Amino acid sequence: SQTRQAGLGPLSLNALGSFTTAGGIVLDQATLSGEKISGKASGTINANGASDFALDLVSTGPSLPLSFGSAESPIKLELQALSVKAAGQGTQPKLDISAVLPSIATNFTKSEGITLALHSDAFDVKSRTGPISGTVTVETIGLDNPTIAPLVAGKITAKVAGSLAADAITIDSGSVQGEALDSAFNGRVSLADGAIDLNLKVDALSAALPAAARGVLAERTQLSAAMKRDAHGGVTISSVKLASGALTADGQASLADNRLSADIKGALTDISLLSKDAKGAIAFALNAQGPSL
């Protein structure tokens, strides 16, 4: 009944194996078959010794539709294949997980052609902690946001390496690359209170940025910043540096208790970019204080 509720229909499981004296399981062969999914597994699972286990699942048809989230914020995905491999000693085996997802859709975006790969050299299965790295490739991202959509046009590849603890995710290095975007980041995300501390560098194709800004930009625009979000939802963006041809700017901004604060200074060394009849350079400063919208 539970598999029917999950939309999988009836499933048939056949397994052949044995228990070890150390409390482990030796699975000689196991097969899973159903109307929408099939799979196989084999190997040894032993929390007190060596494990070497592999599981492979594939959709019987083109893909298996799955739904998560709530009625207000649904997450719909299609699963084509899933592979899990665990090998190593005790409760901290080397872990490899890969998946092929034809699509993932939410209320705001639909991504297609997703491949996912996760790896850990020693993942503590019981506490769900340990070092972890991953790569996600997306062929297309459909986003109903005319400002961001051009930046994520085409194939996007995201990579991350770090560690998962009981109360936080530490990102040692991360990147997002695409036709218009090349970015890098690192930092820490608290699982206890939602606090975020990230350092970000972005190199973007200026043609993918809003049209109003392109006139003074070179072919590419570089941006770096440090972002912090505290446990109460307050956001601070500091050490902001922007550079693109004749335009440079730096500053900081914050949003806390429904109040916005921004302090930005910059320079344009060639004002003919604003008007072909103008010559020279200008410096500018912006200071804003007030309630957020």
- Arithmetic mean of pLDDT, 40-50: 87
Contact 116, 101 (CB under 8 A): yes
Report the SS3 class of residue 71: coil
Identify the CA nearest to 203 among candidates 185, 216, 187, 228.
185
- Arithmetic mean of pLDDT, 29-34: 88
Contact 266, 247 (CB under 8 A): yes
Which range among 8-22, 56-70, 161-175 shows the weakest confidence by mean pLDDT?
8-22
- Arithmetic mean of pLDDT, 107-122: 95
- Is 11's pLDDT higher than 90? no
Which range among 83-87, 160-164, 212-216 shows the weakest confidence by mean pLDDT?
212-216
Please report the pLDDT score of residue 2 as a whole number.
Answer: 46
d(CA 193, CA 248): 36
Report the sign of the C-alpha dihedral through residues 96, 102, 106, 111, in that order.
positive
pLDDT digits (tens, 9 = 90+) for 49-99: 888 999 999 998 888 888 888 888 889 999 999 999 999 987 889 999 999
The DSSP H or E segment spanning 2 is helix 2-5
Identify the CA nearest to 115 among candidates 100, 104, 105.
100
* Biggest CA pair distance of the chain: 87
220: confidence class by pLDDT, cuts 50, 70, 90: very high
- Is 176's pLDDT higher than 50? yes
Structure tokens at 90: 């005790």
Contact 80, 101 (CB under 8 A): yes
Structure tokens at 119: 């790896």
Cα–Cα distances (Å) from 223 to 182, 184, 236, in that order, read 11, 11, 16
Which range among 3-7, 154-158, 195-199 shows the weakest confidence by mean pLDDT?
3-7
- Is 173's pLDDT higher than 80? yes
Angle, CA 80 vertex, CA 58 and CA 134 arms, to 5°: 105
d(CA 209, CA 274): 17
Q: Percent of the chain, pLDDT > 70? A: 97
- Arithmetic mean of pLDDT, 284-288: 94
Please report the pLDDT score of residue 91 as a whole number.
Answer: 82
Identify the CA nearest to 101 among candidates 74, 83, 119.
83
pTM: 0.85
Q: Percent of the chain, pLDDT > 90? A: 66
Please report the pLDDT score of residue 4 as a whole number.
Answer: 52
Contact 3, 34 (CB under 8 A): yes
Please report the pLDDT score of residue 5 as a whole number.
Answer: 46
Give the residue with greater pLDDT, 176 vs 71: 176
d(CA 114, CA 173): 21
What do you get for the CA distance between the two ends of the chain, in Å? 49
d(CA 220, CA 227): 22
Report the SS3 class of residue 39: strand
